[in-house]
Chains A and B, each alone.
Chain A
Amino acid sequence: NAGVTQTPKFQVLKTGQSMTLQCAQDMNHNSMYWYRQDPGMGLRLIYYSASEGTTDKGEVPNGYNVSRLNKREFSLRLESAAPSQTSVYFCASSATNTGELFFGEGSRLTVL
């Protein structure tokens, strides 16, 4: 069982470049999430998708867009990367009725 798979694991961008982080889960979960983790800040929610076909902003959505491509996949796009977006990004999924989150291994992004 792969669980939650994120790609890429590492990425270095220049300011203004764009990129997409990919996430896929094989647990048939309805809900998917994108978080960023910064030192001393815990995990902050960027966007979430309660179910296929819906997406909503979280705590820190500015500078990001998402697509819930199907039930399995939830991508995060940075249209014009900024140094403030240097972070570790985590994708997670959950079965709606329990709230327990299953996490990917993370994607470490550096914006120069």
Chain B
Amino acid sequence: AQSVTQLDSHVSVSEGTPVLLRCNYSSSYSPSLFWYVQHPNKGLQLLLKYTSAATLVKGINGFEAEFKKSETSFHLTKPSAHMSDAAEYFCVVRAGGSYIPTFGRGTSLIVHP
């Protein structure tokens, strides 16, 4: 069985300040983990993925995430928010060998000028 919990439904930051979007997961087997971004009225785009290589994963647009097995977490960070980062972010887990990715409920990132 696998599940994912995004700990915040909304996160509000000022432009230029750091971003932290939190994700905890549960998986019976070695998981693959992903972060996706969805801008308004658009499809989902992959930001980054962890598939058992380096635990610190760098993605597009300056985002990165760290896989922490002991804490079952995969939090998404960015040093400095831009207005264009305002979007919905989804954490996704896929247990090793599973065809079925499981989505978190999403975190809405709001960026203030």
Contacts and interface: CB of A to CB of B under 8 A. Distances in A.
A48 B49 contact: no
A48 B43 contact: no
Contacts of A33: 101
B82 interface: no
A48 B100 contact: yes
Nearest to B44: A103
A90 B45 CA distance: 12
A99 interface: yes
Interface in B95-109: 98-101, 103-106
Contacts of B98: 99
Contacts of A92: 44
Range for the number of chain B residues in contact with chain A: 20 to 34
A13 interface: no
Closest 9 CB pairs of A and B: A42-B105, A103-B43, A99-B94, A43-B103, A42-B103, A103-B44, A50-B99, A105-B43, A99-B32
Interface of A: 4, 31, 33, 35, 40-45, 48, 50, 58, 90, 92, 94, 96, 98-106
Interface of B: 9, 32, 34, 36, 41-46, 49, 51, 90, 92, 94, 98-101, 103-106
22 contacts: A33-B101, A35-B103, A40-B106, A42-B104, A42-B106, A44-B103, A48-B99, A48-B100, A90-B43, A90-B44, A92-B44, A94-B101, A98-B32, A99-B34, A99-B101, A100-B34, A101-B36, A101-B44, A101-B101, A102-B46, A105-B42, A106-B41
